Structure 1
């Protein structure tokens, strides 16, 4: 991930603040560029290169009611067999992922015997904190809103008995591959069985689309456990790759986001803009998943 991506997100974050401060009034290219302390031409080039659409168009994706627009236009219903069997057609997935889940017994040991390497890297959504085990990426946090130290303490507290090593080259290399959407990325899901089911359901939501907490609850076979699903979504340790930002409240409100609502809004806007800008055939990707603790054949989503 190039350093420019981090810079671009800093501009996006400032743009969100300016758009919100305008109280619903559309800002012209000249006005928005001036707020960013950039020339209109440079601002236009930066945004077009980052997301593939013009600043004027992107501004529409950052409005406060964009989530409700997504609910109307790109709402995804997650059927139980589709979410848990991980099969289906017409998906617009942006990543090729293979994941392995920690067994309940391993999780009960609170990370004892586990070595986790960590490091930070720039991303299209600001600085990211990556954490990896020998089985794959187990954590991805975004630090722009929370701060690096708080994000690191948060992630370490999830597996308190693990050994943590600062190994930025190893951790950031795997995360950079995942964020750049090139090649297969291995994930190591560390959590209790119910949370892992919820995280699997999240990975069935196509890029540029959204669903609700209640739909996820139905998908995992517990339609009344909406509150528990919300908690599981919030405990997702692998930000963006397990797309908890695509889960909204039934009303269309954004709901919370563990790494800050500005980051969630930027993610949703970035994905929606790219889905509109890039032809569907160029965004089709294949997902494969295999969990050794569940002896089933390899599962693929198209």
Structure 2
């Protein structure tokens, strides 16, 4: 993925440690930690720690803490995007725009899905990402899998994705996947998605694609949006079975109470993703406001 890839993983490892420090401090009833206190906990100078965070997410450690605080998810939910509001949703025609990323997708037919991947050649490769090591998988039609191993470990991530399509042929080919993966994490350009799942799962995953970055929805709202208001439990299961994490944003689905719920690749990764998106969304809003003020 080009120069600086290992740097992304380093940033995420530091961020994981910072989350643990922030959580421990919050549980003790503490307020926002100072830059100096966080830097000391990370065994870094304040200046280096500030630069690292700003390069990773575009905001200061102090502001980033606001997005990591346990109450932030409830605030997001209070002002949430409703998936029933289709006027602002990505169209379900098989293409849509997410940030500056143009996404095309194609769903596997039910008959193909029932064959458990027989006849499919699935390429795979490991990449660095803002959320630690990422395992990508794809067919000639687009990405079909994206897993994060920072919490689960690489062996578990590989076994998980391979187990979804046990009859497929798997070929290591990171070079073929690199352009697609780069577009996903840089959120620009064009990438393709090959949805391999049951009809219900694909409906749920398409609903997730409607939730804008920096916002959230609930499992019950997602169930309503696909016309199955009583199937909240089944919807939750389908969210958890999403094979293309981050791109299909299952991390934006919360419990009605505002609780984070679970996350297939570890709740710390989910929290990092939500905080990362919230920070980026605010940064973009401030840039737009500055441009308007200066015009």
**1:12 is the counterpart of 2:15:** yes
Give deviations 1:122-177, integer Å, cap 9, x for gaps: 00011000001000000000000111111000001101110011122223442122
Cα distance, 1:46 vs structure 2: 1.1
Instruction: Work out which structure has the larger RCO, using CA pairs closer than 8 Å and 6 or more positions apart in sequence.
Output: 1
User: Which of 81, 101, 105 does residue 76 from structure 1 map onto?
Assistant: 81
Indicate whether 1:265 and 2:271 are aligned.
Answer: yes
Residues 1:240 and 1:280: Cα distance change in structure 2 (over 3 Å): farther
Corresponding residue number in structure 1 for 2:52: 46
Q: In the alignment, what sits opposite 2:215?
A: 209
* Counterpart contact for 2:121–2:168, Cα < 8 Å: yes
* TM-score normalised by the chain length of structure 1: 0.88
Preserved contact between residue 207 and residue 275 of structure 1 (Cα < 8 Å): yes
Comparing 251-260 and 176-185, the one that deviates more: 176-185
Distance (Å, rounded) in 1 between the aligned partners of 2:21 and 2:76: 22
State the 1:94 CA deviation.
5.2
Q: Is residue 182 of structure 2 the alignment partner of residue 176 of structure 1?
A: yes
Once the 2 structures are TM-superposed, how far is the Cα of residue 84 of structure 1 from its aligned partner?
8.4
What per-residue deviation string (whole Å, max 9, x for no partner) do you get for residues 71-95 of structure 1?
A: 123x0111275568549xxx97453
SS class of match (1:95): strand
CA contact (8 A) 1:47 1:54 kept: yes
CA distance in 1, matches of 2:85, 2:68: 32
Residue 275 of structure 1 corresponds to: 281
Change (3 A) 1:156 1:280: farther
CA-based RMSD: 1.8
Distance in 2 of aligned mates of 1:34 and 1:191: 46
Query: Secondary structure, in 3 states, of the residue corresponding to 2:138?
Result: strand
Shift of 1:18: 0.4
Structure 2: how far apart are the matches of 1:147 and 1:50? Answer: 22
Which of 104, 107, 128 is the aligned partner of 1:101? 107
Show CA shifts across 1:186-226 (max 9, x none). 00000011100000000000000000000000000100100
CA separation in 2, counterparts of 1:113 and 1:92? 31
Q: Does 1:131 align with 2:137?
A: yes
Question: Matches of residues 126-275 of structure 1 in structure 2 within 5 Å?
Answer: 126-275=132-281
Conserved? CA contact 2:99–2:187, under 8 Å: no
Contact 1:76 1:205 in 2 (8 A): yes
113, 117, 124: which one aligns with 1:118: 124
User: 1:80/1:207 Cα in 2 relative to 1: closer, same or farther (>3 Å)?
Assistant: closer
- Aligned twin of 2:291: none
Instruction: Compare 43-52 and 256-265 and name the one that shifted more.
Output: 43-52
Distance 2:179 2:190 in 1: 13
Name the SS for the 1:279 alignment partner.
helix
Distance, in Å, in 2 between the alignment partners of 1:108 and 1:80 is 33
Q: Where do 5+ consecutive residues of structure 2 fail to align?
A: 289-295
User: Could you state the TM-score of these two structures normalised by the residue count of structure 2?
Assistant: 0.90
- Do the aligned residues in 1 keep the contact of 2:73 with 2:258 (CA within 8 Å)? yes
